[in-house]
Structure 1
Amino acid sequence: MSNSFSAGPENSTTVQPAKSFRLQVLKMMGSILLFFVTYGLLLIYAGILAAIFLWAGVSLIMFAPLHPITIFSILLFITGLGIIFMGMMQVLFLIKFLFTRQQQDLSLRIPITREEQPALFDCLHQIARATKTRFPKKVYLAPGVNAAVIYPVRFMNMFWPVGKNLEIGLGLVNSLNVSEFTMAIAHEFGHFSQRSMKLASYVYTVNRMIYNMLYENQSWHKTMSWISGRWIVFALLARINLRIVSDIQKALRLMYGIVNKQYMALRREMEFHADEVAMKVAGSDAAVSAMRRLEISGFFYEHCLLQLPEMARQQRRFGNIYEVHRSLIRLYASQHEIALDEHQLPMVTNSYFSSFLLSRVHLPDQWATHPSREEREQRYIAANINKTLRPESAWQLFRHAEELQEQMSNLLNQPFIQQPGQYAAYPVENFIAETATRIRDYSMPAVFNEYYDNRPFPLLSETNITPLPNEQMAALSTATLYAENNVQRLRAYFRDIQDAETLHAIQQGQIKTRYFEFEGKQYPANAAGKVRIKLQSSIRQEAEWLQAHDILAIHYHYTIAFQKDPANAKLLLEKYFKLIEHQGICWQLNDIVGRILHSVSSLFSEQGLTMASAQPYFDSLVDEGALLRKILQRMKQMPEVSGGWDAALQEKVSHFMRYNYSYINGNEPVMEEITNLHEISTTVMEQYNNSIILMKKAWLEAVL
């Protein structure tokens, strides 16, 4: 097998860190130093308090008369011991992270060696030489669409080096050609080569320290609760201790924000630097195409994972999830006119991304650890580094590729499968055929150019529609009504509505930011109201255009139908208004289900919920259940809707209609009633929404 690039010294690369990168490193070092100074002061503070507690406790013990021994002397002695213990607990709170161990989860990792994968290791060694990077201690295969540097993080590792490991996602391999794979791995090796990775280790350790002191306090609190339950004096001492610890935690939260905000800025510079290292190895073209392919691939990998629980419920499993992943990408490419290369990988061009309308409001994301795809692409293109491309799939570097894919698929299936022998492997072609059929069934006719996708049919103020005059009809056609410029204008209208909501949130202080950008121009946060007023004026104008255009389109289709058959035109109009009625009912149903889901989620996710504080959620379930019952009664009288309910759903709905659910019995929730309400509401909502999509599609097909 030929090499992806020569391993000779002429191909080794040294990329000097940018000035902005070095500046962020200095800031990060300052933040870490500030944390340790703060932590040292907190230790001194806790130590002084512990010494005071120790002195007070010993003094009480010494004061307790031993001859004769009385109840009073015993109480003083015990109180003194309690005070000493509370002082020790303050210091323990600040150093307990030293005694915790974080185990790396390797349940979805497959270790590999050079003997098992010689071609892959040859490629990795070439990249290591080209980037002047030490070869990783271990190499693991992981399931996802990524590659990563991983290493154990312990407090003692802050003082001496730790071996770094490389993790290669099989989803990544599944998505890229050899040159793009080289780019992705060289990027990670670029991290290996950064001295700032040592800073990353420091930051991660600092974060673990703070997190441990903020959130991993179960044993500490359990001990405090136990001791406070022994005697009222201990309870008083515990309350004092908890107040002191609460003040310490406030300081730690402040430091957590400072350290992490600075680390996010450093991480962005680290990503840019690693990109530069990788581009020197793989070139600009491979970098651009890799980013684009991974953006699409990541979505479909997550889609595959979401199928696993439902597949298991049907006693099915994917024998090779990566074959499904590849097939879904190809299906998507065929439906969006994305060409495939000779190795069946999608060629994602500028035109694909230009079809998406992006928000015109941009917020500074101080917590973003990675630059956006657009930012990175601009740098790739500006670098203009040419390298010979290897277009064959990255699987060419792997021995027994299919076996690895199946092995990882089995690991992904394991959490959902109880007895493996009872789950039949579901053929990929069947799954793809079902997916394609489902997409086709719920897709509007192509001639409408997605004009009616993901939006309701427009309301009409008049019920007695008349045909358009001939001279007006002569200037209209389906092609002109649903031309690309009209569809883009429609999308821009809905984008602007979302942008106005974002600006309103900034204006109200719901989004905390010092500034924002609108159409590439920067504004202070207090200017959000003015920008929103200007945007709302445009929205009102576009709303008037959209309403007029919607009405014109419906009149046009009615006129065409009337010219062919007036009776059929009347029938089409009746179906249209019936569909509008269904949309109104569905909106009500969606609102009711949304409130039900909120109440159910709150009951089972809120921390420290008592029966008294939970009662409003149970009351809400009763109220929303009553509204749902009315909607269901109405839907049962609509065979075009309820006729699609299967026998199990029909039975659950009938039971729900016959009995008044209370959802609580005494102080215990009635899980069967809550579960039934949840399943009925979500299932009926999903099916009703799907039914309306099919009704819309049928109506649009009828007017063609």
Structure 2
Amino acid sequence: MDGIYPANPTTIPANLTKPSKAHKRHVWLAVLGLITFVVIYLALTTWFGWSSYNLIHSSITTGQGNLFTWIVALSSGFLTLFMVKALLFVKKGSIEQEYEVTAQSEPQLFKFLFRLADETGAPRPHRVFLSPRVNACVFYDLSLLNFFFPSKKNLEIGLPLVNALTISELKAVLAHEFGHFAQRSMALGNWVYIAQQIAAHIIAKRDALDNFLRFLSRIDLRIAWIGWILRLIVWSLRATMETIFNLVLLAQRALSREMEFQADLVAVSVTGSDALIHALHKLQAADEAWDRAQSFVNDQVREGKASKDFFAVQLRVIKHMSGILNDPNYGGVAQVPVDNPAQHRVFSADIAQPPRMWATHPYNHEREQNAKKIYVPGVLDDRSSWIIFDDAQALKEQFTTKLLSRFDVEYQPDEEIFSLLDKVYDREYLNSRYRGAYLGRSFVRHAAKPDVLYESNIDPAISALSELYPEDLSAKLEQMRTLVRERDLLIALRDGFYTPPDGVIRFRGNEIKKRELPGVIEEVSGECARVQEVIFNHDKRCRTAHKCAAAQLGQGWDDYLTGLLALLHYADHMQANIADSRALLNNVYAVVTADRNVSSRELKRLVAAATDVFRALAIVYRDAGQVQLDTEIQQRLEIENWAASLGDFTFVAPDQQNISDWLNAVDSWLNATLGWLGALRQAALEQLLVSEARVAGWAKAGAAATPAAARSQVPQSYPTLTPGEERALQKRLDLWDRFQTADGFVAGALRFVVAGSIIGGALYLTMAPHLLL
């Protein structure tokens, strides 16, 4: 193990990992909030239980009970049962596709983990699981007993994470998790989580007790009123406990932020200030590459073949993406400078969301600032993390076999699989000479008509073709992507779709208030529009230069390029229109079901949104006969006729009677249609760029062009969806739904007052029979 274990920093500042004053303050706030929730919960449960018992006992022993007394007693007993049932839960900590390893199966790994746990002062993990996720985390079983006895901690290690990190970086990530193992405030987090499970059972779960109340409310009016009152009290209990627990969560989120900072410092104490930050930088690429690798493997599995080593595919994808983006640090990180390393920064101050593994953690640049506030030099060991396993290659193959055990596949040699993967990335639009101009973006969506995608004046000189994709284009594209990401995140913050982890909005190094968001969004949108205009003008210049060259060559190539651009425009806009109608349907469905009750007005609104989706789909099939594909596109799609490939449109229009069945069936139609349009868009883009490259090659060489194929044809008119014309989504619930769901401070406060008053009335009601008795 001495030859495997990365060296620790030689000098560690005193009290580096000692909890800060802010940490301690948030601990006390979280404790206070949790105690308040528990006391109120137990007090209500005890009161209803005592009232039920006392009323029944008094009625029986004194013989003075009447019908009213018995109704109150039994109702109190029902409410007691309702409150107690949420306490009787056990939540098993688990991970999907779990693969447990032991000290016997992986002795080297456990020696590494035990040594790291001992060095960080953390308890050793109870059990260790390997997973197919870019992740490492702590998980455990939870029940009411864990309010009094600590739960045993299990450790999950994602092998795709291992695959992407060096041994120093993995050590830092695991040390961060062990930092949580060692935190005393982790117990408080467990208590809050247990309380959260109780609150979730009370607030969200609907079971036999709710069914009983609904049944009671529908029978004879002389009895139904009891069900109505009980349902009202149950609603009040749910609303009150949810409001109180939300206050607990606010305090817990602030504490969680401090806990993450402290866990980071634990990692710094055993690896130095750089290793953890380097790992964090690599996670985004590792996530993306793993998703792309899974998509590729799924395609291969459908053909009955697969690689023995899933993880080699992930690394191959990272290599390809690095070349496509012209970014040598994609999936890697720049070297730490020798001079003044404490001032070196990997992340800039922005509002970007962290990778999925740490999506609820503080911002990346804040974590880096925390890790380097007191800079601890460390030795960065660049060896692969796989060295902690006794037989890494065998493990990779065993794990791959486990992941694909449900499928009937034949494992192929790596060379064959890599060859197929290389073909996937051997696409014209992914060629590095385009500087990533066609990666993950549409250059036709902003234009309502294909003609707008050409310039009226351009230098027709052949030499211009060699200057279309300059080196600085990469920087402009990255600037555009950054601005778009910033704008979209600011809009999501404004509309409440995204909430900062600690409730504070930080943008470009400054804290901004929510009321300032509209002005900031307007400013960033203006910056974004100016950069986009530069990129769009570049797109026009590319299309026009190639069309001019094609016109000089003759042989129908200018007409052919025009047809391909029109086909791309059609496929892109039709796909966007259907996807946008689906987004509206999802939005309406979420809104009308927010309070778990759909009124007749809401049902009509849902049917209207579904009808919009139906019409968007129907247009594709109605006009399919007008889409004529050229022979090159047919070969790329491996079809002869677009309409025949789509098939007949046999889907029925939605109405109030069939809406439930319609919603169950619509996704299959949407996925199939979007899949075909996506394939058509991809084929048109690829063929357009390949054809432009041919034209440029002939023009530069002064060679004669071969005759072009007959151009593709699209309908003369079809729905278009330029940015800004998307269907308006409801961002806030109406007043009644906001009251029901406590959406917003005013609605939440009002609901709390109403619910509290009803509970107060219920408590008084349970006291009245005592006074009579």
TM-score normalized with structure 2 length: 0.73
Is it true that 1:700 corresponds to 2:685 in the alignment? no
Residue 400 of structure 2 corresponds to which residue in structure 1? 409
Distance across 1 between alignment mates of 2:161 and 2:204: 34
Q: Does 1:283 align with 2:276?
A: no
Which amino acid in the other structure matches residue 148 of structure 1?
Answer: C
Worse-matched range after superposition: 593-602 or 200-209? 593-602
Residue 485 of structure 2 corresponds to residue 492 of structure 1: no
8 Å CA contact retained: 1:316, 1:424: yes
Q: Distance in 2 between matches of 1:59 and 1:655?
A: 77
Q: Does residue 1:425 correspond to 2:420, yes or no?
A: no
Separation in structure 2 between the aligned mates of residue 527 and residue 8 of structure 1, nearest angstrom: 44
Q: Show CA shifts across 1:269-321 (max 9, x none).
A: 11211121122112234323333333322332334444565555434455443
Following superposition, the deviation at residue 97 of structure 1 comes to 2.0
Matched letter for residue 616 of structure 2:
E
Q: What's the offset of the Cα at 1:99?
A: 2.0
For 1:434, give the aligned amino acid.
Answer: L
Inter-partner Cα distance in structure 1 for 2:42 and 2:256: 26
* Residues 229 and 373 of structure 1, relative CA distance in 2, 3 Å threshold: same
What displacement does 1:410 show? 3.7
Match of 2:253 among 264, 281, 284: 264
Q: Deviations over 1:152-195 (max 9, x none)?
A: 21111111233323333333332333322322222222112111
Residue 566 of structure 2 corresponds to: 581
| 1:151 alignment counterpart | 140
The equivalent residue for 2:707 is none
Report Cα offsets for 1:366-401 as digits up to 9, x if no partner: x96312333323344444323444433232222233
Tell me whether 1:21 sits opposite 2:19 in the alignment. Answer: no
CA drift of 1:208 comes to 0.7
Q: Are the counterparts in 2 of residues 187 and 275 from structure 1 also a CA contact under 8 Å? A: yes
Task: State the SS of the aligned residue for 2:137.
Answer: strand
Aligned to 2:717: none
Residue type matched to 1:404 in 2? Answer: L
Corresponding residue number in structure 1 for 2:385: 394
Shift in alpha-carbon separation, 1:20–1:442, aligned structure 2, 3 A: farther
Q: Partner of 2:673 in structure 1?
A: 681
Q: 1:656 to 1:52 in 2, by over 3 A?
A: farther
Structure 2: runs of 5 or more not aligned: 337-343, 698-773
Contact 2:352 2:489 in 1 (8 A): no
1:443 aligns with 2:429: yes
Out of 311, 322, 325, the residue aligned to residue 314 of structure 2 is 325
Q: 1:42 aligns with which of 41, 44, 51?
A: 44
Supply the AA of the counterpart residue of 1:526.
R
- In the alignment of these two chains, the number of paired residues is 670
- Matched residue type, 2:571: C
Change over 3 Å in CA distance of 1:244–1:267 after alignment to 2 = same
Residue aligning to 2:623: 631
Tell me the residue number matched to 2:470.
Answer: 483
**One-letter amino acid of the counterpart of residue 435, structure 2:** N
CA RMSD of superposed structures (Å): 4.6
Letter in 1 for 2:396: Q
Give secondary structure in 2 for the equivalent of 1:2: coil
1:426-575, aligned counterparts within 5 Å?
426-453=412-439, 454-456=441-443, 468=459, 478-479=466-467, 481-493=468-480, 495-496=482-483, 499-500=486-487, 516-535=505-524, 537-538=526-527, 541-542=530-531, 545-546=534-535, 549-554=538-543, 556-557=545-546, 561=549, 567-568=552-553, 571-575=556-560
The 3 A distance-change label for structure 1 pair 512 and 11 is: closer
In the TM superposition, what is the alpha-carbon distance from 1:206 to its structure 2 partner? 0.8
Deviates further, 207-216 or 506-515: 506-515
Q: Which residue of 1 aligns with 2:82?
A: 93
SS at match of 2:376: coil
Q: For the structure 1 residues 54 and 383, does the alpha-carbon distance in structure 2 shift closer, same or farther, using more than 3 Å as the test?
A: same
> Matched residues in 1 for 2:465 and 2:634: separation?
37
CA–CA separation in structure 1 for the residues paired with 2:432 and 2:599: 54
The CA deviation at 1:246 is: 0.8
- In the alignment, is the contact (CA less than 8 A) between 1:83 and 1:237 conserved in 2? no
Match for residue 747 of structure 2?
A: none
Name the SS for the 1:98 alignment partner. Answer: coil
SS in structure 1 opposite 2:130?
A: strand
Q: Does 1:199 align with 2:188?
A: yes
Which one is further off, 133-142 or 532-541?
532-541
Name the SS for the 2:86 alignment partner: helix
Preserved contact between residue 96 and residue 131 of structure 2 (Cα < 8 Å): no
1:357–1:495: 8 Å Cα contact kept in structure 2? no
Counterpart secondary structure, 2:138: strand
CA distance, structure 1, for counterparts of residue 687 and residue 62 of structure 2: 83
Which ranges in structure 1 are unaligned for 5 or more consecutive residues?
65-75
Is 1:209 aligned to residue 195 of structure 2?
Answer: no
CA distance in 1, matches of 2:664, 2:8: 65
Alpha-carbon deviation of 1:199?
0.8
Match of 2:711 in 1: none
Change over 3 Å in CA distance of 1:460–1:452 after alignment to 2? farther
Query: In the superposition, relative to structure 1, how do residues 665 and 387 fare at CA in structure 2: closer, same or farther (>3 Å)?
Result: closer
Secondary structure at 2:100's aligned position in 1? Answer: strand
Q: How does 1:243-258 map to 2 (within 5 A)?
A: 243-258=232-247
Q: Aligned letter for 1:145?
A: V
The one-letter amino acid of 2:90's match is R
CA contact (8 A) 2:130 2:158 kept: yes
CA pair 192-525 structure 1, distance change in 2 beyond 3 A: closer
Find the residue that maps to 1:134 and give its secondary structure: coil
Counterpart of 2:376 (choices 385, 391, 398) is 385
Deviation at 1:245, TM superposition (A): 1.2
Q: Deviations over 1:251-286 (max 9, x none)?
A: 222123222222222222112111211221122343
One-letter code of the match for 2:563?
K
| Cα gap change, 1:672 to 1:634, in 2 (>3 Å) | farther
The structure, 1 or 2, with the larger RCO (C-alpha pairs under 8 Å, 6+ apart) is 2
CA distance in 1, matches of 2:647, 2:539: 42
Q: Is the 8 A contact 1:178 1:390 kept in 2?
A: yes
Identify the match of residue 152 of structure 2 among 146, 149, 163.
Answer: 163
Q: Tell me by how many angstroms 1:242 deviates.
A: 1.2
| Distance apart, 1:90 and its partner CA | 0.8
Distance 1:651 1:136 in 2: 59
Identity, in percent, stands at: 19
Q: Tell me, in whole angstroms, the C-alpha distance in 1 between the residues paired with 2:249 and 2:514.
A: 23
